[in-house]
Chains A and B, each alone.
Chain A
Amino acid sequence: GESVGLHLPTLSVQEGDNSIINCAYSNSASDYFIWYKQESGKGPQFIIDIRSNMDKRQGQRVTVLLNKTVKHLSLQIAATQPGDSAVYFCAENMNTGFQKLVFGTGTRLLVSP
C-alpha cells in the first residue's frame, strides 16, 4: 500500500549549520512530492515541491533532492536559522487528477542559537 516514512523523528542542529531531512516513500507511481513546514499551532506551510521528471530543485535556502531509484526524498536547508525550527513533512501524490497527498509522520527540527 501507499506509505511515506521519515528516518528521524527529531533533528537538532546549531544555527548556521546545514540541515538535511530525509524521507522514504514506497509508491513508485507517485509523480509529485512536496515538503511542508508546520509550526506550533499552525497548519502545514508549503516549502518546495518537485516532480518526478526532476531530481533536484532549489529554492531560497532550500533544496529538494529526489532519488527515484531508491524512492528517497530529502530536504536540505542551508544556514539553518532558529526560525526554521518546526516539524517538516514530506508528502507524495499520485497523478489521479486530484490531490491525494500521503504524508509522513514528520521530523522535528530544533535549531539552537
Chain B
Amino acid sequence: ETGVTQTPRHLVMGMTNKKSLKCEQHLGHNAMYWYKQSAKKPLELMFVYNFKEQTENNSVPSRFSPECPNSSHLFLHLHTLQPEDSALYLCASSQPDRGVNTEAFFGQGTRLTVV
C-alpha cells in the first residue's frame, strides 16, 4: 500500500463512452501526476498538478481531460477514446521539498481497454 489509491482497477469502455478514472492520495502531497504505460513502452507523463494547478500537459489529446479539485484527488475524464488508448494509467504523487524533487509514489493503476 503506497497511500495512492486508484479506481477502478479495470475498465472496459466503448469508443463512444464517457468514463472517469479516480485517484486519491493519503500522503499529504501537493503534486499529482497521470502517467500512461503501454506494452513495451516507457511510462509516459501525461499531466502534472501542483497545488491543484496544472503545470504540465505533455501534448496529450483532448479526449483525455484531467481534473484536480483538491490536492488529494485527481481525475482523468475519458471520452471518444481509440483502441490505441488501451493501456495502464498510473497516478502518482510527490512532495517536492523546497524545490528539491523527491520520489513519486504510484498507485496500482487502472487497466483500460477500449473496444
Contacts and interface: CB of A to CB of B under 8 A. Distances in A.
Given A43-B90, A46-B103, A98 B55 contact: yes
A101 B106 contact: no
B55 A34 contact: no
A99 B4 CA distance: 16
B71 interface: no
Interface of A: 4, 32, 34, 36, 41-46, 49, 89, 91, 93, 95, 97-106
Given A99-B101, A104-B42, 18 more contacts: A34-B103, A43-B90, A43-B92, A43-B108, A45-B2, A89-B43, A95-B100, A97-B99, A98-B31, A98-B48, A98-B55, A98-B56, A99-B31, A99-B48, A99-B96, A99-B104, A101-B43, A101-B45
B3 to A, nearest CB: 11
Interface in B1-47: 2, 4, 6, 31, 33, 40-43, 45
Interface of B: 2, 4, 6, 31, 33, 40-43, 45, 48, 50, 55-56, 90, 92, 94, 96, 99-109
Across the A-B interface, the 10 shortest Cβ-Cβ residue pairs: A43-B106, A103-B43, A103-B42, A46-B103, A99-B94, A44-B106, A32-B101, A43-B108, A98-B50, A93-B101
Contacts of B96: 97-99
20 contacts: A34-B104, A36-B106, A41-B108, A43-B4, A43-B90, A43-B106, A43-B108, A43-B109, A44-B43, A44-B90, A95-B101, A99-B48, A99-B94, A99-B101, A99-B104, A100-B56, A101-B45, A101-B104, A103-B43, A105-B41
Contacts of B103: 34, 46, 49
